[in-house]
Amino acid sequence: MSGISSVSYPDYGWLFGTQNNKKTDSITQLWEGYKNYQSNAQSSISGLSEISNNLKSVWTSYNEAKYAFNTEFKENMSALKDSAKEVQKYSFSVAKQGAITKTETTDENGIVSIKTTYSKDLQQALDVVSEFVSNYNSSIKFFTDNASISKRVDNLRNSFSDTTYRAASYESIGLQVSSNGMLEINEEMLANAIVDNPDKVSSILGSDGLAGKALDHVSFAESQIESAFPTFREMFGNQFDVASFYTSKGYRDTINYVNLGNFVNMLY
């Protein structure tokens, strides 16, 4: 028809499989792109899940370590407190008669040895001191072994190791003091001190002596127990912040939006 211009329409035949499927490759590429988007999203979520699982694992390990530390902390303090109180109230007065008995024996090779035995009362006194010293040493060892955990634990180590300041006094009754504050009993010397001067032993070990100091240390330590072990953030610092960010819902949503945006961009 004359006077009417011809209108050219876009060719959409490729969408419906016409024109010998000239543009089916475009559909294939679009579909492959979508599958890539799905794969990227799944990969991102998988990576985040792995981070989340690792973070949970670290949390579990942290809580187990904290529980073990606090349990051993309390056990040491409880044992030391009980034995220190026992020393505080203990009367070191024992009967001198028969308190220490020495028996000389000679074996078949002519070698002479001397066996020392103690009376029941003296042996009990020695056992009380031995139990107290053992618990005191265990406490020092606990804080020394864990001193690197936090400044508070290191301060407690220093506090319990203050036996070095009165080393001469303790050594006068048979308690040898090492450089780290731990004690070692010279049993014979301590036994003689108890028999010969029980008041001196009570003064050095009792309420105004080592047992009293030990209870002061225990009281201070117990006030620190909830803060002695570092918090999760203190222990892992920035690594915790990063892991928390990557496992947060906001970041996961961002990953999905980015992947979706990439797919949408392929459409236009």
Say whether pLDDT at 168 is over 60.
Answer: yes
Q: What is the pLDDT of residue 163?
A: 94
Say whether pLDDT at 258 is over 50.
Answer: no
* pLDDT tens-digit map of 17-73: 444 454 455 545 444 544 454 555 555 555 555 555 666 776 777 788 889 999 999
Average pLDDT, integer, range 232-253: 53
Q: What is the pLDDT of residue 236?
A: 64
Q: What is the pLDDT of residue 55?
A: 62
Q: Is residue 44 part of a domain?
A: no
Q: Is residue 137 part of a domain?
A: yes
Q: Is residue 216 part of a domain?
A: yes
Domain count, the chain: 1
3-state secondary structure of 250: helix
Q: Residue 263: pLDDT band by 50, 70, 90 thresholds?
A: very low
Q: Is the pTM of this model over 0.85?
A: no
Residue 152 belongs to domain spanning: 89-230
Q: What is the pLDDT of residue 238?
A: 54
Q: What is the pLDDT of residue 44?
A: 53
Say whether pLDDT at 85 is over 80.
Answer: yes
Q: What is the pLDDT of residue 49?
A: 58
Q: How far apart are CA 268 and CA 256, in angstroms?
A: 19
Q: What is the pLDDT of residue 103?
A: 87
* pLDDT tens-digit map of 125-160: 999 999 999 999 999 999 999 999 899 999 999 999
Q: Is residue 37 part of a domain?
A: no
| Residue burial 89-109, b: 16+ Cβ < 10 Å; e: rest | ebebebeeeebbeeeeeeeee
CB neighbourhood size of 199 (10 A): 10
Q: Is residue 123 part of a domain?
A: yes
Q: Which residue has the tokens 């009281």?
A: 219
DSSP state of 229: S
Q: Is residue 81 part of a domain?
A: no
Q: Is residue 79 part of a domain?
A: no
Q: What is the DSSP string of 167-211?
A: HHHHHTTTEEE-TTS-EEE-HHHHHHHHHH-HHHHHHHHSTTSHH
Say whether pLDDT at 260 is over 80.
Answer: no
Say whether pLDDT at 248 is over 70.
Answer: no
Q: How far apart are CA 37 and CA 43, in angstroms?
A: 10
User: Of 54-63, 89-98, 114-123, 149-158, which range is least confident?
Assistant: 54-63
Higher local confidence (pLDDT), 27 or 220 = 220
Q: Is residue 223 part of a domain?
A: yes
Higher local confidence (pLDDT), 253 or 220 = 220
3-state secondary structure of 123: helix
Q: What is the pLDDT of residue 136?
A: 98
